[in-house]
């Protein structure tokens, strides 16, 4: 049987190694990576290498990664430089997921609206959806 848990169970920033140790000690075998999911954190080579070592050390398998919409680097931002930086952030999470052997998905949030969304807000959401489409094309 596989038991999976989100890595932000004990917090979503800082050194993830103690969290991974606690997750393994609790008997979990698989992960949904949520560390730094609501930040602009870019995983560099050093972080990915360390994560790969900890996954091996603790016998954990990465399933999914919760990609970041970012704070300023947002893949559906209306401001073009923020949108492009957001695309770089998403690409970073995709690469991290692939390099760490992810077998599931990369989860991303998108802007949305419903019939209950106030009419005054809808144009801004539509602009974000247009930006999202450009990002998906890239």
What is the distance between the alpha carbons of residues 5 and 29, in angstroms, rounded to a whole number?
A: 8
Q: What is the pLDDT of residue 68?
A: 84
Q: What is the pLDDT of residue 33?
A: 93
What is the distance between the alpha carbons of residues 36 and 82, in angstroms, rounded to a whole number?
A: 18
Q: Enumerate residue ranges in the chain where pLDDT < 70.
A: 1, 11, 113
Q: Can you say whether residue 49 is alpha, beta or left, with left for phi > 0 and alpha for psi between -120 and 50 degrees?
A: alpha
Contact 17, 54 (CB under 8 A): yes
Q: What is the pLDDT of residue 81?
A: 97
The answer for residues whose C-beta is within 8 angstroms of residue 110's C-beta and 6 or more apart is 76, 129, 132
Q: What is the pLDDT of residue 65?
A: 92
pTM: 0.86
- CA torsion through residues 53, 55, 56, 61, sign: negative
Q: What is the pLDDT of residue 36?
A: 87
pLDDT tens-digit readout, 103-114? 888 888 887 767
Contact 108, 67 (CB under 8 A): yes
Q: What is the pLDDT of residue 133?
A: 92
Q: What is the pLDDT of residue 24?
A: 95
Tokens matching residue 42: 């870019």
Contact 67, 35 (CB under 8 A): no
Q: What is the pLDDT of residue 1?
A: 66
Q: What is the pLDDT of residue 60?
A: 96
């Amino acid at each position: 049987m596989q038991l999976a848990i989100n890595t932000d169970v004990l917090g979503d920033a800082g050194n993830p190694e103690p969290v991974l140790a606690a997750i393994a000690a609790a008997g979990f075998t698989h992960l949904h990576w949520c560390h730094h999911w609501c930040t602009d954190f870019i995983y560099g080579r050093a972080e990915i290498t360390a994560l790969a070592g900890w996954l091996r050390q603790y016998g954990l398998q990465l399933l999914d990664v919760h990609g970041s919409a970012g704070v300023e680097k947002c893949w559906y931002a209306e401001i073009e430089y923020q949108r492009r930086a957001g695309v770089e952030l998403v690409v970073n999470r995709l690469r991290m997921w692939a390099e760490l052997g992810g077998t599931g998905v990369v989860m991303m949030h998108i802007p949305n609206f419903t019939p209950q969304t106030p009419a005054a807000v809808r144009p801004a959401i539509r602009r974000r959806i247009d930006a999202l489409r450009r990002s998906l094309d890239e």
